[in-house]
Amino acid sequence: MMPLSVKLNPAISEAAEVLEKAVRSRRFVVAVGDCRVDYEGRASSTLDWGDRVTMIKQDGSVLVHRPVGYEPVNWQPPRCLVKVSIEDPGALVITASRNQPRETISIEFREITLLATGNLHDPGEFALHVTEEQMKRAILTAPELVEEGLKPLEAEKSLGEAGFTDIYAEDNRGNLVVVEIKRNAATKDAVLQLQRYLETLRTTVGRPIRGIVAAPQLRKGAQPLLESLRLEFVMVPPEKCFMVLKSRRDMKLSYFLT
């Protein structure tokens, strides 16, 4: 990778110079130091003096991280305008703003311990397996994951106002079946969503319709609701979906190999 420019305990004026240049040429910045942060936008916040890690990313994202916790305490999303200035002598201020919504954070440093800037080269592909989308593909590929004899008619049937069903199918006794897929334990909300789909469909379709929640698990609180609405739950473990997708990939592979 390209070498980083690293300054230890730079003077505020020197830090400003380096930062200014890095921001202008859209380089990555990591700054560790004693700062305070103000935010004004959808809400507003203040954060008093303390040691934090600030990152300015190559797309203009700005993140301020405290020494604990998963989330940044303050931030600005990609494509914001970053400016560097010296307000008082001895006070370096980074301002990051965007419109729509109009938001600004300003980070004021009174001491910078570490300032590293450089170009990070990251071409690596990221792949996340078994999302809800993939569960749907798996069920469309192998409907027996939900029920033997299930025949998918449409994925994502539109119901106008009410939204989209995950899977719209037919069982082997001629009932229509709406399948609502969740990759996590299904909540009441999932059950209510399915119910809304069914209500909408029943106003336009004369045939009997079943509603099935397909998920790895059903939340305790969702069980009574499910029963009272006469809906069904089928456990579909993500691993099985993964196997289906994997075997499909393997088939494809063998198809190309033979």
Shortest approach of DNA to residue 22 CB, angstroms? 21
- Which 8-state DSSP code applies to residue 157? -
9 is a contact residue toward DNA (CB under 7 A) = no
50 is a contact residue toward DNA (CB under 7 A) = no
What Å distances lie between residue 15 and 37, 111, 165, 202, 219, CA to CA? 18, 10, 55, 66, 53
- Cα 59 from chain centroid? 18
Shortest approach of DNA to residue 95 CB, angstroms? 13
What length does the chain have?
Answer: 258
Quick note: the x/- pattern for its own copies over 76-105, rule CB under 8 A, is -xx---------------------------
**Among 99, 148, 161, 173, interactor with its own copies by CB under 8 A:** 161
**Among 42, 48, 123, 204, interactor with DNA by CB under 7 A:** 42
- Based on its alpha-carbon atoms, the radius of gyration of the chain, rounded to whole angstroms, reads 27
Among 106, 103, 87, CA closest to 95: 106
Q: Strand 151-155 and strand 44-56: pairing?
A: unpaired
From the list DNA, its own copies, none, which binds 187 (C-beta under 5 to 8 Å, kind-based)? DNA
Q: At what angle do helices 132-141 and 238-257 cross, to 10 degrees?
A: 60
Q: Write down the residue that tokens 């009410």 correspond to.
A: 162
Q: Nearer to DNA by C-beta: 91 or 162?
A: 162
From the list its own copies, DNA, none, which binds 200 (C-beta under 5 to 8 Å, kind-based)? none
Q: Nearer to DNA by C-beta: 14 or 137?
A: 137
Dihedral (CA of 124, 59, 20, 64) sign: negative
57 is a contact residue toward its own copies (CB under 8 A) = yes
Q: How far apart are CA 154 and CA 88, in angstroms?
A: 64
From the list DNA, its own copies, none, which binds 103 (C-beta under 5 to 8 Å, kind-based)? DNA
**Among 89, 99, 100, 127, interactor with its own copies by CB under 8 A:** 127
Identify residues 125-184 at the interface with DNA (CB under 7 A). 128, 131-133, 163-164, 182-184
Q: How far apart are CA 137 and CA 155, in angstroms?
A: 9
173 is a contact residue toward its own copies (CB under 8 A) = no
Q: Nearer to DNA by C-beta: 12 or 74?
A: 74
219 is a contact residue toward DNA (CB under 7 A) = yes
Phi, psi dihedral angles at 72 (to 5 degrees): -70, 145
- Interface residue list for DNA (CB under 7 A): 39, 41-43, 45, 69-71, 74-78, 100, 103, 105, 128, 131-133, 163-164, 182-185, 187-189, 219-222
